[in-house]
Amino acid sequence: MSRIVIEATNISKQYTLGATGTGSFRQDIKRWLGKKTGRPNDPFFYGSNSAADTLLALQNISFQVQQGDCWGIVGANGAGKSTLLKIISRIIQPTTGTVKGRGTIGSLLEIGTGFHPELSGRENIFISGYLLGMKKAEIKQQFDEIVAFSGLEKFIDTPVKRYSSGMYVRLAFSVAAHLQADILIMDEVLAVGDIEFQKKCLDKMQQVVNDHLRTILFVSHNMQAVTHLCRQAIWLQQGKLVAMGDTSQVVDQYVGSLQQNRLRLQWQHEAEAPGNEYVRILSMELVPELHSPESVIDVRTPLHVKFTIRNLSENILLNAGLHLFNYAGECIFDVASKPVWCRAGIVEGVCDIPGHFLNDGAYYLSLIIVRDTSIPLYYFEAGIHFEVADYREDTTWFGKWKGVVRPQFPFRFEPYPALRDTQSIDH
Amino acid sequence: MSTPSRERSLPIYPPDNEPWDWEVTNRTSWRTWSFKALWAYRHLLFRFVKRDFLVNYQQTLLGPLWVVLQPVLTLVVYVLVFGKWMGIKTGDAPPVLFFLCGILLWGLFSDLFTGTAFLFTYYGSLYNKVYFPRLVIPFSVAGTQLLRFFIQLVLLVFVLGYYSWYRSFAFTPGLWLLSLPVVILLTALFALALGLIFCILTARYRDLSNIVHLGIRLFMFVTPVIYPLSVVPASVRWLANINPLSPLFEVFRYALIGQGLFTTGQLIYSTLFITMLFLLALVWFNKQAARLIDVA
């Protein structure tokens, strides 16, 4: 199958910041006058609303998608991923450029689009289905299947406002999962629902992918899911297409770009170094044990935190502490070195964080220098920033791995020996 | 524009000259125009009507009874205030019938207008999340209001029946009764046309929403709702005459209670004006809707 079903040519989307949102009648009159007098860019007519107030959400994006392909679209928040999906879904118009396509489109940009809290599950299945572009016969025929998929047979005539948020999501996704459009457009729909249900959804998507008949465009921050489901990927950054092609390559490039974190700090002149009259931080560095220079820190990577400080006091009892935080501000750990007696001069420290310990996510490290094991001398906050990428083997589960840490403890799991050798237990 | 995957795969077939099914550009394409597309979404429209109807009366004590209770309560107030205290001359017909006719038709007009004039504020988030022909929602609002109106018409029939049986009111069915569907349709179309125009304006200029409510209330007073056109002094009659709603109200009352003042010329003017405005509103709405999603 290599029939092209979506062809995007040079699409750009420009937003005017402020002006349209405030709905100023005067601005519009001025702009209109500007157009009429043939000076559309005259600052008098445009006032403050000049090029500086416009945002290019997408710039000259071109690509082709073939039937049966599953494309992942990755990029940071605000990279224009959703804008791109909205343009392809015909929700908004591009400022320039064209998207042409073959076949019907079903777009799932939000879970539960068009759901009304006062209406029953049954009624909402119909409204949501119609909104997504399903035909009456399609819904009627699949109705029982949709309800069964959601597992809400008992509550189908209850107003959805009485549903728990999990039930709501399940019903909403069940409708979406039965959408028969030729091209499916999905935005981060997996970010919701309980684990069991997420698994169900991914399986459903995998089915669609395996059919090779329907085309999927899939935006997600879940790199595992993208790598697993999609063969092609697009990486957008600030509205520009940075990379396009084979998923694993694009995702690697993208994840690599996220890790231009601050792994190393060093001060040439001690006077500029952070510190006070007791201690100065001379350097701090995170050294990952990577397999190759191109690879990124992932959950398997052992890390070494190295730092040097200058101690400015004679003969004091010093020890250092390292605090690791995630970006939610939670302290993951607080490790302290053994106290040592130090003379004035340079003091070095190394702390080893083993691989298979941290969960995936973004972290920062703070360093504290303590005197007499109880008096803080200096607290150097958020010196090192780094990210740990996800890595999984032997699993088909791609949702967010739970837990603050992801250690691999010795774990024995096997059939009980007594039973293993018994051919028959009971007949 | 070739992607790596395309290079890898088999030659393209069917040939590239296979026509595209759809196209998105910054121009309003014929697709948003097509009534075929709207027709394909008719089930959604019906569901919306059903939803609006259900949701309005869910968990209320009297439920759908409110559809007729509302005009009845208004009627009591109007009969007392405008009829008894202010003594507005309503002609030979009983004031109750006179006011009820006006209240019902005006209710259709004003509810349909206010129901559509803020579409982008109410439905912006829905419009922003899924594509469907944008006109489905205003049309479904029109459907809901027309449904309400027809239920209220039943009330009117009962009141008419009561007055002809038990009171000295002589209901004379005439050929003009046949004009009622047209009158109702034109009233609805006028409201819908204004609603489509104003929903774009209110999305663009939020200030307007405050004026719209005031405007519709004032507009009632230049429309023969609570007074017959015949009591309007000849010197300001022109004001009522340029209002395309005036002859509709007069015909409506003439057909039902045999009292109304209008000319054929006025009716033609009204019909043409409303049809033209409606077509214009459709064109404008289609053109602007896609752009307004960015604002709303």
- What confidence tens digit (pLDDT) does each residue in A280-292 have? 888 898 888 887 7
Task: Name the average pLDDT for chain A.
Answer: 82
Nearest to A107 among B25, B27, B131 (CB): B131
- Identify which of B133, B90, B124 has the alpha carbon closest to the alpha carbon of residue B206: B124
What pLDDT was estimated at residue B4? 43
What pLDDT was estimated at residue B33? 60
Question: pLDDT tens digits, residue range B191-229?
Answer: 999 999 999 998 888 778 888 999 999 999 889 888 888
Q: Which residues pair with A370 in a beta bridge?
A: A319, A376
A17, A90, A111, A215: best to mutate for the B interface, most B CBs within 10 A: A90
A176: exposed, middle or buried (Cβ count in 10 Å: 0-12, 13-18, 19+): buried
Across the interface, whether the CB atoms of A244 and B4 are under 8 A apart is answered: yes
Shortest alpha-carbon distance between residue A338 and chain B (Å): 56
Q: Phi and psi dihedrals of A371, rounded to 5?
A: -105, 140
Across the interface, whether the CB atoms of B130 and A89 are under 8 A apart is answered: yes
- In the predicted structure, residue B3 carries a pLDDT above the cut 50: no
What residues does each domain of chain A span? 4-23+58-257, 264-388
Q: Which of the four pLDDT bands, split at 50, 70 and 90, describes residue B274?
A: very high
Average pLDDT over residues B178-202: 94
What pLDDT was estimated at residue B190? 97
- In the predicted structure, residue B108 carries a pLDDT above the cut 60: yes
Separation CA B285–CA B52 (nearest Å): 22
Average pLDDT over residues B45-49: 93
- Identify which of B296, B127, B116, B136 has the alpha carbon closest to the alpha carbon of residue B206: B296
Average pLDDT over residues A6-25: 73
- Identify which of B201, B222, B192, B199 has the alpha carbon closest to the alpha carbon of residue B112: B192
Please give the structure tokens belonging to residue A40. Answer: 């559309």
pTM of the model: 0.74
Separation CA A421–CA A416 (nearest Å): 9
Of A77-86, A335-344, A410-419, B89-98, the one with minimum mean pLDDT is A410-419
Separation CA A162–CA A152 (nearest Å): 13
What pLDDT was estimated at residue A272? 77
Task: Name the average pLDDT for chain B.
Answer: 85
Question: pLDDT tens digits, residue range B126-159?
Answer: 888 888 888 999 999 999 999 999 999 999 999 9
Is ipTM over 0.85?
no
Cis amide prior to A376 (ω within 30 degrees): no
Q: Phi and psi dihedrals of A29, rounded to 5?
A: -60, -45
Instruction: Check if A119 contacts B (Cβ < 8 Å).
Output: yes
Q: Which of the four pLDDT bands, split at 50, 70 and 90, describes residue B124?
A: confident
Average pLDDT over residues B61-76: 86
What pLDDT was estimated at residue A259? 57
Shortest alpha-carbon distance between residue A96 and chain B (Å): 6
A123, A130, A244: best to mutate for the B interface, most B CBs within 10 A: A130
B2, B3, B202: best to mutate for the A interface, most A CBs within 10 A: B3
Average pLDDT over residues A349-354: 92
What pLDDT was estimated at residue B7? 41
Instruction: Return the higher-pLDDT residue of B138 and B290.
Output: B138
- Identify which of B163, B183, B186 has the alpha carbon closest to the alpha carbon of residue B257: B163
Question: pLDDT tens digits, residue range A244-260?
Answer: 999 888 887 887 776 55
- In the predicted structure, residue A209 carries a pLDDT above the cut 80: yes
Closest-approach residue (CA) in chain A for B58: A118
Shortest alpha-carbon distance between residue A278 and chain B (Å): 57
Across the interface, whether the CB atoms of A62 and B1 are under 8 A apart is answered: yes
- Identify which of A301, A276, A412, A298 has the alpha carbon closest to the alpha carbon of residue A361: A298
Task: Write out residues 295-334 of A within 8 Å (CB-CB) of B.
Answer: none
Architecture of the CATH domain A264-388: Distorted Sandwich (2.70)
What pLDDT was estimated at residue A38? 58
Average pLDDT over residues A373-388: 85
Q: Which residues pair with A7 in a beta bridge?
A: A64, A100
Please give the structure tokens belonging to residue A374. Answer: 């109880």
- In the predicted structure, residue A18 carries a pLDDT above the cut 60: no
Q: Which of the four pLDDT bands, split at 50, 70 and 90, describes residue A263?
A: confident
Q: Which of the four pLDDT bands, split at 50, 70 and 90, describes residue B36?
A: confident
Shortest alpha-carbon distance between residue B188 and chain A (Å): 25
Q: Return the CATH fold of A4-23+58-257.
A: Rossmann fold (3.40.50)
Separation CA B55–CA B75 (nearest Å): 25
Question: pLDDT tens digits, residue range A90-138?
Answer: 888 899 999 999 988 888 888 788 888 888 999 999 999 999 888 999 9
A2, A184, A215, A246: best to mutate for the B interface, most B CBs within 10 A: A2
Question: pLDDT tens digits, residue range A162-205?
Answer: 998 888 888 988 888 888 888 989 887 655 666 677 777 778 88
Whether the CB-CB separation of A368 and A318 falls below 8 Å is answered with no
Nearest to A93 among B26, B44, B47 (CB): B26
What is the DSSP annotation of A302-353?
A: -EEEEEEEEE-SSSEEEEEEEEEEETT--EEEEEEPPPEEE-SEEEEEEEEE
Separation CA A33–CA B200 (nearest Å): 21
Separation CA B103–CA B87 (nearest Å): 17
pLDDT > 70 in chain B, percent: 91
- In the predicted structure, residue A333 carries a pLDDT above the cut 50: yes
Nearest to B130 among A15, A97, A114 (CB): A114
- In the predicted structure, residue B116 carries a pLDDT above the cut 70: yes
Average pLDDT over residues A74-96: 88
Of A59-68, A412-421, B5-14, B286-295, the one with minimum mean pLDDT is B5-14
Instruction: Check if A29 contacts B (Cβ < 8 Å).
Output: no
